[in-house]
Structure 1
Amino acid sequence: MARKKSNSTNAAQVLESAVSPILEINYNDPLFTAAAHPTKPILLSGQVTGHVYCNTYDAEKLEELTQAKREEHYNLEKEAYSKGKIPHVNKSVSQSKKKWWTIIENNTDIPSDNALVTTNWKTKRHKGSCRHAIFEPLEGSVGDFVYTCGTDNIIKKASTETGKVVGKVDVSSDYTNQKDALTKLCHSTTHPFLLSGTEDGHVLVYDSSNLNSNKLKFKVQNAHDDSVNHILAMPGVSAYHYLTLGSTTLSHIDIRKGIITQSDDQEDELLAMCFPSDEVGEKNDTVLVAHGEGLVTLWKNSKNKLMDQLTRIKVNKSASIDAIIPTMNCDDEGLVNSVWCGDSEGLLHRVNYKTGKVVETRLHSVSHGKYGAVDEVGILDIDYDYRLISAGMDSLKIWSNAEVEDQEVSSEDDDEEEDEDNASDVENSWSDISSDDGSDVNDEDSDEENESEEEAGDDLLHKRRTDLSEIITKPKRKTLDINKLTKSKQEDKPEEEAIEEPLPKKQKVKEQKLTTKQLRNMQKHEHGIRKFEGL
């Protein structure tokens, strides 16, 4: 039996954005991590099997093809609607029966002659699962290398172009507990510092320019009591300063000295965090944190040293917010103040953190998948041209960044808009009358002619309202006639007495009280309630 959709899913479908994906890649084996190249249309994906794939996509052609197919699909829907074959033109992206974007059914079987998506290289990178993958962010070599970590306790550095490993380190020798395992990676944007978080809450730092030395550079012991969920560099503060999330706390650490501050217990799992777009490489003062109870909280280092959250934004109370990322677009005023959130119900939310509201929703997944009810959004990234990338275990989607034209809607709803204009004219006429009343009240020195016009306007209003009341009261008169018919004794009574019938009825109900003597007499007699008392 299919599980019912939650209220949040239904609401998201109502508020769904018109933006659609341009590419969808499906995975046979669960996808654990994905990363977008910062300057090129290159996509990295790591799976539970330990395989890592590097793909290139032609974003411009995908955009053009998606737009052309969407217009074709829309015209067919419009034609079917005009012939009465369908009840309405479907404008929803998620509810459309036909998908107009490019779909790769199996990431392991992309044709070599595919001009839109190509596989640069693929490899079995780790013996266990590949848990995290990132591109190098250093200014002199942005995106030239990729770093991956797996459950085999090995971090590997490889060339983005060829996939060839150029350095690796076995971190198991640096564990306090040999059963510990790697969870997350983070790289400094200015120094060759490669950080890795562990399940026991430690942070290990290595020299990314010389991983083969197997030498631990720094170690922050017990940054958290539990697994490190996220590591965020603070280049605007220092190359040695980072933020980490683990369990229910946020920590500000210096990799040389240890924990600077640790927040109060938030009594909720803290899963991911990010800086707003305008603070990514600068101030690093405002931090947005995703919670397990469907919240996004705002923190400020300048206010309370990140000891506690300042405000909270309700995003989806029935799901956990598993991923959060800035839009990275500072050119648009609406986007610069927004962050993208992905939740466990397969929904994407664009949240304006300054207004504290969800301003846009997209549906990554609404149907049952292979590994759960829906494809939970646990991975978010932004590609080189500000396109949103969302992924779960089943699929990955690259969303269009082209503005959706409103001409489609206006061309279809010309008649509806005319009706709305007529309706607005009627509303304006009513509002004009009411505004006249208000202005006349404030006007103490009004003329008698204006007063007569007021009365005429009031008469118009009263006439319309009395007409409505007559329609409403018609059923009441019918009920009185039925009551007269049911009472045979009152057939010969005049209408006036019949109208006064409800009054004595109410009085009889109020006056019908039994005395204690009458109650005792009733208890002596057998009746239905007493007979079935013991059953």
Structure 2
Amino acid sequence: MSLDPKPLQASQNSPSLAFIMDAFKSHSIAFDSPIFTLAAHPSEPLFTAGLLSGHVYTYTWPKEAPSADEDFEGDDALPSGYKVAWKTRRHKGSCRSVVYSGDGQLLYSAGTDSLIKCASTTTGQVTSKAVIPPTTSSPDGPTYLHALTPQHLLLGTDSGTVHLYDTRTALPVKPTTTWTSIHDDYISSITPLPPTSESTSNLPKQFLVTGDSTISVLDIRKGVLARSEDQENETLSSCVVAGGVGKGGRSTRAYVGMGDGVVHAFERGVWSDMCERIKIGSRGMDVDVLQEYALTGDNELHKGKCIVVGCSDGRARVVRLGGNKVVRVFDHDGEDGDGQEEGISGIAFDCDGAMMTAGGSVVKIWYMEDAGGDVDDSEADDSSNDESEQDSDDSDEPDQPPAKAKGRTLESDSEDSDGDAGSKSSQRRRKRRKNKHQATGPRKPQFNGLD
């Protein structure tokens, strides 16, 4: 039975919002290819971006903030001491998803070449890889990776399937367990539900899985436990907030981003339909990314739990839960935009508590001016955009950071890439569309050792 909740408008009419936002600054790192996926290391100063071109870049920065007079004017300079730790063309076609292992020692990536690759976080060297099982008629493309535990990995696909891999030694040739047709369309997100008080391992075993116009709850021991009613629009993203919400502030709620500018809230244990509907923007706007908000130094966090909502209009909105009020708006496009909206494709929080947003071909690192110190706010061109002639089609040997930027353009694989002709908004959505976003279907994966 539908609860038919009253829509709650997330108000943006805060008189002091413009003044408050003056305290937030950002640095930009530009790429020559759109960014599909973004991940931050759980404990070290590293973040990784996976690109439409199949390239994977990992950046690092000093653990201690650079002094105000430190020189960053070299040919390979990046803002605030950021530098390329390693880069490589990891996948033929697009890199759809990247994720760090729980201990941060390994980085997993999945691409439209129907391969999952496991690499060393520090060197980028591939240690193992596996072919994603095909459907009955064609290869199956990946859509979402989640590091389940220190020993397991979950993968969602275009066909609505979820695979479980045992990673205690290396990526196995075949997944340990497969759940088919969890959804009728692609898996758009996989989010862990916090372990209950009865858990002996203190590791999650139940997961919220979104796809088509419903949500499902997957228990890796028992299979699908529940599925919601049709939400009448695409379910595109999700996050779970434990405690601090709902009546008495004791509830755990799942928040699901929809394709009509709305976030649906679900009470844990009551999965049939939403308990709350938070209107974020206009009907034509997608809520592509959801995260619990955790930007270090933001006083808004003292007032209650918040989520950050990445939207197709290029803005990340922070919503304080309870009152469901928009209290921050981070304009990713800003004054640097070219007049065409670039939706938010990824949000992550680094180990220092800075928020990173990815959209179009730019990653922005946001920080509080007081918390971040006196740092130059100018944007620097990403010197790593140089792709040498030696950058192979499917190299698992990471390239060393280039000595000098030459401004070349990355070339995406025309047969495998998600970036076929169309508007920027259609390219952004194409990465999530089952068998509709590729100029041709993915080729049969080639798996010859660790090439």
TM-score (norm 2): 0.69
Inter-CA distance 25–204: structure 2 relative to 1 (3 Å threshold) = same
Inter-CA distance 110–322: structure 2 relative to 1 (3 Å threshold) = farther
Q: Which residue of 321, 337, 351 maps to 1:384?
A: 351
Match of 2:85 in 1: 120
Question: How many residue pairs align between the two structures?
Answer: 347
For the 8 Å contact 1:368–1:374, the answer to whether it is kept is no
Inter-CA distance 52–388: structure 2 relative to 1 (3 Å threshold) = same
Match of 1:424 in 2: none
Match of 2:40 in 1: 36
Q: What letter is aligned with 2:218?
A: I
Query: Does 2:318 match 1:314?
Result: no
Higher helix share: 1
CA–CA distance in 2 between the matches of 1:111 and 1:403?
27
Residue 234 of structure 1 deviates from its aligned partner by 2.5
Q: Render the CA deviation track for 1:460-512: whole Å, top value 9, x for unaligned.
A: xxxxxxxxxxxxxxxxxxxxxxxxxxxxxxxxxxxxxxxxxxxxxxxxxxxxx
Match of 1:185 in 2: 145
Residue 246 of structure 1 deviates from its aligned partner by 0.1
For the 8 Å contact 2:25–2:369, the answer to whether it is kept is no
For the 8 Å contact 2:244–2:305, the answer to whether it is kept is no
For the 8 Å contact 2:296–2:353, the answer to whether it is kept is no
Residue 112 of structure 1 deviates from its aligned partner by 6.8
CA–CA distance in 1 between the matches of 2:251 and 2:178?
23
For the 8 Å contact 1:219–1:255, the answer to whether it is kept is no
Query: Does 2:328 match 1:397?
Result: no
SS of the residue corresponding to residue 65 of structure 2 reads helix
CA–CA distance in 2 between the matches of 1:381 and 1:335?
22
Q: What letter is aligned with 1:245?
A: T
For the 8 Å contact 2:295–2:355, the answer to whether it is kept is no
Query: Does 2:168 match 1:203?
Result: no
* Aligned ranges 1:141-290 → 2 under 5 Å: 142-173=103-134, 175-189=135-149, 191-237=150-196, 239-276=204-241, 285-290=252-257
Which 4+ runs in 1 deviate beyond 6 A?
10-14, 112-115, 329-332
Higher strand share: 2
CA–CA distance in 1 between the matches of 2:184 and 2:194?
26
SS of the residue corresponding to residue 400 of structure 1 reads strand
Q: Render the CA deviation track for 1:188-239: whole Å, top value 9, x for unaligned.
A: 13x5121111111010111122344313211111110101000112241464
For the 8 Å contact 2:152–2:164, the answer to whether it is kept is yes
Q: What letter is aligned with 1:205?
A: L
Q: Render the CA deviation track for 1:409-448: whole Å, top value 9, x for unaligned.
A: xxxxxxxxxxxxxxxxxxxxxxxxxxxxxxxxxxxxxxxx
For the 8 Å contact 2:157–2:187, the answer to whether it is kept is yes
Inter-CA distance 206–404: structure 2 relative to 1 (3 Å threshold) = closer
Q: Render the CA deviation track for 1:240-269: whole Å, top value 9, x for unaligned.
A: 321100011010012343211000000011
Match of 2:333 in 1: 365
Q: Which moved more, 1:52-61 or 1:143-152?
A: 52-61
CA–CA distance in 1 between the matches of 2:265 and 2:24?
29
Match of 1:346 in 2: 314
For the 8 Å contact 1:329–1:336, the answer to whether it is kept is no
For the 8 Å contact 1:329–1:335, the answer to whether it is kept is no
Match of 1:323 in 2: 289
Q: Render the CA deviation track for 1:368-413: whole Å, top value 9, x for unaligned.
A: 856x8122112111111221111112211110135589xxxxxxxx
Give the share of equivalent positions with the same residue, in percent: 30
Structure of larger gyration radius: 1
Q: Which residue of 260, 280, 294 maps to 2:261?
A: 294
Q: What letter is aligned with 1:42?
A: L
Q: What letter is aligned with 1:376?
A: G
SS of the residue corresponding to residue 58 of structure 1 reads coil
Q: Render the CA deviation track for 1:75-102: whole Å, top value 9, x for unaligned.
A: xxxxxxxxxxxxxxxxxxxxxxxxxxx9
SS of the residue corresponding to residue 172 of structure 1 reads coil
What is the alpha-carbon root mean square deviation over aligned residues? 3.3
Residue 322 of structure 1 deviates from its aligned partner by 1.1
**Which runs of 5 or more residues in structure 1 are unaligned?**
1-7, 70-101, 406-535
Residue 113 of structure 1 deviates from its aligned partner by 9.3
Residue 14 of structure 1 deviates from its aligned partner by 8.7
CA–CA distance in 1 between the matches of 2:171 and 2:233?
39
TM-score (norm 1): 0.59
CA–CA distance in 2 between the matches of 1:13 and 1:47?
38
Residue 177 of structure 1 deviates from its aligned partner by 3.9
CA–CA distance in 2 between the matches of 1:323 and 1:112?
30
Q: What letter is aligned with 1:18?
A: D
Query: Does 2:50 match 1:46?
Result: yes
Bigger relative contact order (CA 8 A; separation at least 6): 2
Q: Render the CA deviation track for 1:285-304: whole Å, top value 9, x for unaligned.
A: 311111111112211114x2
SS of the residue corresponding to residue 276 of structure 1 reads strand
For the 8 Å contact 2:242–2:253, the answer to whether it is kept is no
For the 8 Å contact 2:118–2:171, the answer to whether it is kept is no
Q: Which residue of 305, 308, 324 maps to 1:337?
A: 305
